[in-house]
A and B are shown apart, each in its own frame.
Chain A
Amino acid sequence: NAGVTQTPKFRILKIGQSMTLQCTQDMNHNYMYWYRQDPGMGLKLIYYSVGAGITDKGEVPNGYNVSRSTTEDFPLRLELAAPSQTSVYFCASRPGVGNTEAFFGQGTRLTVV
């Protein structure tokens, strides 16, 4: 199993550009999450999904969109990139509730200039 795979690992965007951060998991997990990590601020939840076709906003959804057309994929879309979106983005997945750890991807480091 590859686990949770994120692409790309690094990206520089110009203000106003758009991009999609890809996230794929091969563990057949129902729950998937997108977090952003800023220095000293821990993880902030952007969006999450509890299954294919179901998504919901987290703590900081503004400026982002997601879709979940399959169990495996949970892409995060940035429209009209802003410098405030410079961050490291992590995708994570879990099988479900209960004693289930979260599995994280390696992260995407995004810089908006």
Chain B
Amino acid sequence: GEDVEQSLFLSVREGDSSVINCTYTDSSSTYLYWYKQEPGAGLQLLTYIFSNMDMKQDQRLTVLLNKKDKHLSLRIADTQTGDSAIYFCAEHPASGGSYIPTFGRGTSLIVHP
């Protein structure tokens, strides 16, 4: 079955880089997503990567995928206080019979001055 694991907390200083890690278990072709949840709000898509890619960069965000270890990371460069939020890793099946995205528990990122 599918399972997505991520650490629960990360604390960084403003201006430093943040790295949030995630592992997944589904071995089929899949899309892997990072969502951001700000306090009192729903989840919003940050970025995604397909399982045949190694890296994707989008402004301050870099996603790295290690397919062999099924390890995904999200790096936020020059972290700002506005980046404080919960970040969810998610796996969406690319095809086949599963219609259900699988979400990790979420990593709470705290950015302090």
Contacts and interface: CB of A to CB of B under 8 A. Distances in A.
A1 interface: no
Interface string A63-99: 0000000000000000000000000001010100111
A97 B104 contact: no
Interface in A16-50: 31, 33, 35, 40-43, 45, 48, 50
B105 A58 contact: no
Interface stretch (B11-19, B41-49, B59-67, B72-80): B41-49
A48 B99 contact: yes
A99 B31 contact: yes
Contacts of A104: 42-44
Interface in B62-113: 88, 90, 92-96, 99-101, 103-106
Interface of A: 4, 31, 33, 35, 40-43, 45, 48, 50, 58, 90, 92, 94, 97-102, 104-107
Interface of B: 8, 31, 33, 35, 40-45, 48, 50, 88, 90, 92-96, 99-101, 103-106
Closest 5 CB pairs of A and B: A104-B42, A42-B105, A101-B45, A104-B43, A43-B103
